[in-house]
Amino acid sequence: MRKPHKSSKIHLEDVLEQHMVDELVEHQGYRLRSDADYDRDLALDPQLTVEFVKATQPEEWEKLESHYGTSAEKEFLTQVAANLKRSGTLPVLRQGIKIVPGIKFVLCAFQPASNVNPALQARYEANIFSVTRQVHYSRRNENAIDVVIFVNGIPVATFELKNELTGSTFRHAEKQYRKDRSPANEPLLTFKRGALVHFAMDTSNVSMTTRLMNGKTRFLPFNRGRDKGAGNPDIAGEHRTAYIWADQPEGRAVLSREMLLDIIGNLLHLETEEVFLPDGSLDKRETMIFPRFQQLDAVRRMMADARQHGTGRNYLVQHSAGSGKTNTIAWTAHRVITLHDENDAPLFDTAIIVSDRLVLDRQLQNTVQKLAQTPGVVKIIDGTSKQLKAALDSGARIIVTTIQKFSTDHLSTITGQAGRKFAVIIDEAHGSQSGKSAQAMSEALSRDGEGTAETFEDVVAAYQEARGPQPNISYFAFTATPRTATLERFGRKGSEDTPEPFHLYSMRQAIEEGFILDVLQNYMTYKAYYQLEKAIEDDPDLDTKRSRRRIARFASLHPAAIDQKVEVIVEHFRRHVARELDGQGKAMIVTQSREHAFNYYRRLQGYIDANGYDGLKALVAFSGPLRIDGETYTEAELNGFAETELPKRFDGDQYKVLIVAEKYQTGFDQPKLVAMYLDRKLAGLQAVQTLSRLNRIYPDKRRTYVLDFQNTIEDIQTAFEPFYGETSLEANSDPNQIYTLERRMHEFGIIHDAEVERFAETYYRSELDGHDRAKLEGIVREAVMRFDNEDEEEQEEFRQVVKSYLRFYSFLSQIMALGDTDLEKLYSYGTWLNRLLPDREIPGDIEITDDMVRLQAVTLKEKEKGSASLAPEAGAKLSPISEFGAKPYTEEEQRSLSEIVSSFNDRHGTEFTDADFVRYEAVNEEIMTEDLVEMLRNNPDDVVYKAFAEMFFRGSVRSFQRDNEMKSAMLTDPKVREQITRHFFRRARRLANEDKDAA
C-alpha cells in the first residue's frame, strides 16, 4: 500500500495510524489486513484463524473434515465464537477449544520455556499476528475503531489514536471510548468476550482499560515515565509512544510477538472479589488485570538480568503505594520458575515469596494461586514451620510464607540446599529483612549438609559466610518506601557509588499521571489547648517527665477533648465527604492507642445518635482484648461480626467511618476512602504508609481530605520527601563502625575475651544438647554478674551498645564478607548476653485521675489549611546508618538543656521540648573529628571554644536546612544560639575526656 505524502498530511490523525501500522508490518512481522476481512458477528478475522489451525494441526483438521465434511470450516468457526462467548478470549487463547468428537484445537502457541522441544518452538513461530485499520465492528451502525490487533484472527487489542497536532489528545480518545463505543451487543467490545485491552493513545501518552462501561470506564496510564515524573521520554526520530510498536534499546515493543504473547500467556488474569451490596448480600466483582507498563517493564528487566547473570544477584523494586505490587510479585514468581539458562537448564528451582507480616496476605495468596496454570505449583504455608520444611524438602516450585517461619528449630535441620537455586521474593522489604529471621532464611537455603570445615576457626568462618550474599539465592525485594538498610541490602551501586533501586515507579510519577491521588492536596491541622489544674499541689510524683506524659495522655483521653474532635470530624464528614462518590465516600480516624480508639468509637456513636444523623455508622479496629473500667472489650464484639469480615463490611454502604489503632494503617486497600482524621503523632515511613491508604483512585474520586490534630504540615512534608521521587542515600554506611561498637562493648569491662572464646567453642558445635545449653548460659552469667555491679546509668548505656552491635552486625554481615571470626563469635555471645541481661527497672505508671488533675478547659483551634503537596523537584536523601546507643545525659546536662528550651519558648511563644533540641546531638557527632577531639582534650576553653562554635554553627545550618523552626533557633536568637553552643561544647568536652580516660 502506498504511503500518503506526510508533508501535506502530517497534522492529520490518520498519519499516526498509518505510521503505526507500517511499523508493525515492516518490523514486527504483522500482516496487514483490511476491514473487509473482519466478520462483525463472529468478531474474528476468520480466514487467519482457519489458516493457523490448518498449518499447525493438520491431523486434527483432517479429523474435523472427516466428521463434518464440507461444513467443517463453518462448524469450527461457530464453535470458536461460541467458546469465546461462553469462556472468554483469554481462556480460548490459553486452553484452546474442543469440538465433538473429542477434537482439540490450540488457537495460540506460546513460547516454550526451553528449546528442548523444537516442535513447540515451530508452532510458536507459526502464530499469525495481524493489524487492521478502521475496523467497522458494530452490528448497529458504521462505527469504526482506528486499529485492531489480532493473534491468529482473534482480536486482542483495540486502539483509538489522536494526533496532538490536531489539538486532540489521548484524553479525547478516552472520551470517544466512553461516549461512542458502547459494548452492548458488540462482541469485539464485550468484557471477557472481545478484545482483551483497549488503548487510548496520542504521540506523547498512552492509557488503557480492560473493560468498557460507557461513562464509567476507568483508564489507567500506560506510560514509561519522563524524568521520574509523568509522560514518556523522547525517542530519536520517533514519537514518544513508539515503544508500543517499535523495539527500543532497553526492550522489545509492547506489540512485539515476544512481549504480547508473554502478556497473554503469563500475565493477564481475571481477578474476582466479593463485595457487599446495599441490601447486605454478597456479590462478585470481576476485573481483567492487564499489566501496566512499569509492572511489565520491571518483571521483564529482572528476568533478562537474571537470565544474563545467573543467580546470586539482588533486585530492589521501588514502586509507589497503590501501584499493584501484589500482581507484580505474583508475576515475578511465576516467571522466575520458567527461566532457563543457555543450556536449557532451569535457572531457579524454587521461588519463595516471603512477607514480614505474622499472617499471610490473603490477596497475595489468591493472586499467586490464580496465575498457576498447573495444579500443585503453588504451596501456601499457612500452618506451622513443619509445613514449610516439607515444602522445601519436596522441591515445591512456588512457596508463599512468612519470614518468621524460617527462624525455628524445624528449619535448622534442613541441609543440602546449597545445590539448589532460590528466588526469594520479598513483599514489603523493610527492617525484618536485615534481622535474625532473614539470616535464618539465608542459612536454611544455603546449607550444603557436608561438614567440610577442618578447624574450629573454619567452622566459625563458615557460619559468618552463610550470613552474607549466597551464590544460589537471588533476592527480588519490593517496597514503595525503602529505608537505609533496605537500599544497602538490596540496591545496586549507581553513578554516585551509593545504592539505587533496580526499577523505579515513583510516587511523583504515579500522582502526576493520575494513577494515585495526591493525599496532601487538602491538608488542615488543628491544635488542642488544655487548661489543667493540679489538685494535689505538693505531689512530687506529678512533676516528673514521665508523669507529664501521663497527664498529657489523660487530657487526650478526656471525654471533653474527644467530644470536640468528634464534632469537628463528623461535621466535616457530613459537609465534604458524605457527598463524594455518589454517597459512597468513607473516612478513617487514626488514633494513638487502643483505648483512644475505643473512646472515639463510643463518643462518635453518641454524637451521631444525639444529632439524629441516620446513615452514618462507624466501625472500630484494634487487636486483642481491651480492658477498661473492669470490662473487657474486643473488636468483634463491638462491631458485631468477626474481625476477618471487616474489610468487606466496610466496603459496603452500611458503614462510613473506620476508627483504627495500629491496624489497617498499612496494606489496607480501600479505594472509597476520601478522608483521614489523624489524632496520632506520625513521622517518617509511618506517616507515608498511613496517609497512603487514601491514595487509591475510584470513579469520580478527585480529591482527598486530611484533618490532623497532632502533626504540622512541615512534619508531614518532611516525612514524604525521601520517598517522593527515587529514594537515595547521602552516603554509604561505614562498615568500620562495627569495630567502634566492638571496642565500646569491651570498654565497660563486662565482657571478657576468654569467656567469649569458651562460649564459641561450645556454641559452634554441629548440635547442642541440654548440657551444652546449660554450659553456655553459665559462661554468659559471669558477665551478667559483672553487669549487676554497675550503676544504673552504665547498665543502660551497655544495653544500648550491645543492641546496636547486634543490629549493625546482623545488617552488615548480610551485605558483605567480613572475614573476621572474632566479630561472629562476639555476635553469637552477645545474642545470649542480651537475652540474659535483666530488664531495666521502669517505675510503675502513676494512674492520673480526676482527683489528682482536673481538666478545666480544652480549646481546639484550626492552625494550618491548604495544600501540603510537594513540588516536582522535592526530595531528601536518607542518612547512612550511624546512630548507635547515644551516651546518656547527665542530670546537669539535662537541667541545662531544659533551661535553654524553656527560655527559648518563653521569648518566642513556641512549644519546643527537650527532645527537639536533643536533635543537635547529631550535629555534635558530625563535627567531632579526630582533630577536634584532640583539641578539646588538650586545650583550655578559651583556646578551643571559638573554633568549636564556628563548626557547630555551620553543622547546625546544614542539618536543619529543611527545618525552619529549628534553624531559627540558631539564626534569629543570638542569646539562645550562645546557650545551645555552650551546652553542646561542654558535652563534647566531657565525652572527649571520657573516651580518653577509657582508652
Give which of 633, 554, 642 is closest to 594, Cα–Cα: 633
C-alpha angle 328/217/585, rounded to 5°? 85
Angle (nearest 5°) at CA 959 between 955 and 962: 140
Query: 614-628, 657-671, 841-855: lowest mean pLDDT where?
Result: 841-855
CA distance 326 to 365: 9
Strand order in the sheet with 523-534: 618-621, 657-660, 586-591, 673-679, 705-708, 523-534, 853-866
Which of 999, 978, 991 shows the shortest CA–CA distance to 937?
991
CATH topology of domain 523-723: Rossmann fold (3.40.50)
Give which of 109, 83, 76, 115 is closest to 94, Cα–Cα. 109
Q: What's the pLDDT band for 994 if we cut at 50, 70, 90?
A: low
| Per-residue pLDDT at 446 | 79
pLDDT at 5 (0 to 100): 41
SS3 helix, strand, coil % of the chain, rounded to 5? 45, 15, 35
Provide the edge-to-edge strand list for the sheet that holds 378-380: 378-380, 398-402, 350-355, 422-427, 473-479, 314-319, 503-505
Separation of alpha carbons 3 and 25, rounded Å? 13
Mean pLDDT, range 156-185, rounded to an integer: 94
How does pLDDT run across 292-311, given as a tens digit for each residue? 999 999 999 999 999 999 99
Does residue 69 have a pLDDT over 50?
yes
Report which of 657, 326, 609 is spatially closest to residue 649, judged by C-alpha positions: 657
Residue 363's pLDDT band (cuts 50, 70, 90): confident
Which pLDDT score is estimated for 335? 93
Tens of pLDDT, residues 735-766: 888 998 899 899 899 999 999 999 999 988 76
Rounded to 5°, angle at Cα 250 from 247 and 255? 35
What pLDDT is recorded for position 7?
41
Q: Which phi and psi angles does 454 have, rounded to 5°?
A: -95, -35
Band (pLDDT 50/70/90 cuts) for residue 891 is low
More confident residue, 409 or 664: 664
Q: Is the dihedral of CA 361, 362, 367, 369 positive or negative?
A: positive
DSSP 725: S
Comparing C-alpha atoms, which of 382, 424, 420 is closest to residue 402? 382
Q: How far apart are CA 319 and CA 695, in angstroms?
A: 14
CA 374 to chain centre: 29
Per the rule left: phi > 0, alpha: psi between -120 and 50, beta: everything else, 940 is: beta
Give φ, ψ of 190 to 5 degrees: -75, 135
Q: What is the mean pLDDT of the chain?
A: 85
Poorest-confidence range of 405-409, 528-532, 792-796? 528-532
* DSSP β-bridge partners for residue 516: 696
- Is the pLDDT score of 714 beyond 50? yes
pLDDT digits (tens, 9 = 90+) for 932-948: 777 887 777 777 888 88
Q: Is 977's pLDDT higher than 90?
A: no
Distance between first and last Cα of the chain: 87
φ, ψ for residue 503, nearest 5 deg: -140, 140
At 71-118, the pLDDT tens digits run 999 999 999 999 999 999 999 999 999 999 999 999 999 998 777 788
Query: What is the spatial distance between Cα 545 and Cα 416, in angstroms, rounded to a whole number?
Result: 56
- All three cell numbers of 67, joined, read 466428521
10 Å CB burial of residue 254 (0-12, 13-18, 19+) is: buried
Most confident of 127-131, 224-228, 379-383, 658-662: 127-131
Residue ranges with strand state E in 359-397: 378-380
Q: What is the DSSP letter of 630?
A: T
Q: Is 344 exposed, middle or buried (0-12, 13-18, 19+ CB in 10 A)?
A: exposed
pLDDT band per the 50, 70, 90 thresholds, residue 777 = very high
Determine the pLDDT at residue 619: 97
Q: Are 211 and 191 in contact (CB under 8 A)?
A: yes
Highest averaged pLDDT of the listed ranges 185-189, 538-542, 839-843: 185-189
* 3-state secondary structure at position 473: strand
Q: Report the pLDDT value the prediction gives residue 980, as an integer from 0 to 100.
A: 83
**Contacts of residue 906, Cβ cutoff 8 Å, sequence gap at least 6:** none
pLDDT given at position 879: 79
Mean pLDDT of 849-854: 50
Split at pLDDT 50, 70, 90, the class of 642 is: very high
3-state secondary structure 391-420: HHHCCCCEEEEEHHHHCCHHHHCCCCCCCC
Task: Look up the CATH architecture of domain 292-505.
Answer: 3-Layer(aba) Sandwich (3.40)
Mean pLDDT of 895-917: 69
DSSP labels, 145-212:
EEEEEEETTEEEEEEEE--GGGT--HHHHHHHHHHH---TT-GGGSTTTS-SEEEEE-SS-EEEES--
**Residue 365: predicted pLDDT:** 82
pLDDT the model gives residue 555: 66
Statement: residue 965 has pLDDT above 80? no
Q: What is the pTM of this model?
A: 0.81
Q: Is the pLDDT of residue 923 over 80?
A: no
The β-bridge relationship of strands 673-679 and 657-660 is unpaired
Q: What is the mean pLDDT of residues 189-195?
A: 96
* Number of neighbouring beta carbons within 10 Å of residue 396: 20
Considering the chain, what percentage of its residues have pLDDT values greater than 70?
A: 84
Omega within 30 of 0 (cis) for the link into 101: yes
Q: What is the mean pLDDT of residues 15-44?
A: 96
For 936, the grid coordinates are 578539646
Over residues 282-290, the mean pLDDT reads 85
- The beta-strand segments (E) located in 277-334 are 282-289, 314-319
Is the pLDDT assigned to residue 953 strictly greater than 80? yes
Write the CB contacts of 77 (distance below 8 Å, at least 6 apart in sequence).
42, 44, 46, 49, 50
DSSP state of 816: S
Burial environment of residue 456 by CB neighbours within 10 A (0 to 12, 13 to 18, 19 or more): middle
Distance of CA 817 to the CA centre of its chain: 28
How high is the pLDDT of residue 717?
93
Cell of 874: 522535592
How far apart are the C-alpha atoms of 714 and 245, rounded to whole Å? 45
Alpha-carbon distance of 980 to 987, in angstroms, equals: 11
Q: Does the pLDDT at position 909 exceed 50? A: yes
In one-letter notation, the amino acid at residue 644 is T
* pLDDT tops 70 at residue 970: no
Q: CA–CA separation, 321 vs 931, rounded Å?
A: 46
- Which of the pair, 392 or 97, is modelled with greater confidence? 97
Could you tell me the residue ranges of all domains in the chain?
6-245, 292-505, 523-723, 889-998
What's the CA gap between 427 and 486, in Å, rounded? 12
C-alpha–C-alpha distance, residues 239 and 243, integer Å: 9
Higher-pLDDT residue of 835, 840: 835
Set of cell numbers at residue 289: 488485570
CA distance 472 to 49: 45
On whether the CB atoms of residues 32 and 131 are closer than 8 A, the answer is yes
Please state whether beta strands 499-500 and 626-628 pair in parallel, antiparallel, or not at all (unpaired): unpaired
371 pLDDT band (50/70/90 cuts)? confident
292-505 and 523-723, same CATH topology: yes
